Amino acid sequence: MCRQCNDVTMKHEPGFGRRHFLAAAGAAAIAGWSGRASAKEKAPPKPQNVLSPDAALERLMEGNARYVQGVSRRHDFKHEREPLTRGQNPFAGILSCADSRIAPEFCFDSGRGDLFVCRVAGNFANTESIASFEYGVHVLATPLILVLGHDACGAVDATIKSIKDNTTLPGHLPSLVDALAPAVKDVLGKPGDTLANAIKRNVVLTVAKLQSASAIIGDAVAAKKLRIAGGVYKLVTGKVELLA
């Protein structure tokens, strides 16, 4: 059979369209990842962001110290726009609460293109944030992920009350309770302030989840190309206290 006839026959085979589509989509995905990986070899838009994991954490905390002291730098947003049209190479990923009082870019005195931020009430790792950080690690070569909790977290407080009172919150809020319940249950009945303890415990559990839930992230940690840390933002001072 000639090639043209063979192609026509195949196109009329049951399921051919779907198989052809899936094969093409798979090839495109692989090509896309490979293309992005090769893009890493190009000059990064912000060379100062090419750091080791430990140096990235040090820079993050130096920025927080300036923020606490009220001496944040003046960032030249205008002239950094053009370099950032060519790509991004953030030196840190931040998993933060959606609380309006917590602004990672401000509290770490950073500019555009510096931080790869995911925010959700309660700063827990869900499928979407894990996938986002996989992108940050695999494609953007981000060397650090910081899980950032904060004082007086309303999502954690609501979870404590829901569990203690055995009540169900309205709307989609129970999904937050389900995600934060392990941290709350770990500290119930223990000495100290339950809310403060649950906030810290949630950070610790989230760090552990990020390390174990993804081979991409876990392998980068094992290869010492990535560090995952946790901290709690203090509302009164603005200081981020790292957790061991």
Q: Are residues 9 and 50 in the same domain?
A: no
Do 110 and 211 belong together in one domain? yes
**Same-domain status, 56 and 29:** no
Residues 133 and 26 in one domain: no
8-state DSSP, 231 = E
Q: What pLDDT, on a 0 to 100 scale, did the predictor assign at position 66?
A: 98
Tell me how many helices (H) and strands (E) the chain has. 10, 5
Contact (Cβ atoms closer than 8 angstroms) between residue 182 and residue 204:
no
Q: What whole-number distance in Å separates Cα of residue 174 and Cα of residue 176?
A: 5
For residues 30 and 34, give the distance between their C-alpha atoms in angstroms, rounded to a whole number: 6
Name the DSSP letter for residue 99: -
Instruction: Provide the number of structural domains found in the chain.
Output: 2
Q: Same domain, yes or no, for 24 and 135? A: no
Show the tokens assigned to 48: 């100062």
Same-domain check for residues 64 and 20 = no
Q: Are residues 64 and 101 in the same domain?
A: yes
- Domain shared by 87 and 10, yes or no: no
Predicted pLDDT of residue 41: 61
User: Do 85 and 19 share a structural domain?
Assistant: no
Regarding whether 50 and 34 lie in a shared domain, the answer is no
pLDDT of the residue at 124: 98
Q: Are residues 114 and 135 in the same domain?
A: yes
CATH number of the structural domain spanning residue 89: 3.40.1050.10
Residue 150: helix, strand or coil by DSSP?
strand
Q: Give the domain extent around 1.
A: 1-39
Do 106 and 78 belong to one domain? yes
| Single-letter code of the amino acid located at 129 | S
**In terms of DSSP H, where are the helices of the chain?**
3-11, 16-39, 53-69, 77-84, 104-107, 127-138, 154-165, 173-187, 194-212, 215-222
Q: 210: which 2 tokens? A: 């990020």
Per-residue pLDDT of the chain (244 residues; tens, 9 = 90+): 444 444 444 444 444 444 443 444 444 444 455 444 444 467 899 999 999 999 999 999 999 999 999 999 888 778 788 889 999 999 999 999 999 999 999 999 999 999 999 999 999 999 999 999 999 999 999 999 999 999 999 999 999 999 999 999 999 999 999 999 999 999 999 999 999 999 999 999 999 999 999 999 999 999 999 999 999 999 999 999 999 8
Q: From the CB of residue 126, how many other CB atoms can be counted at a distance below 10 Å?
A: 16
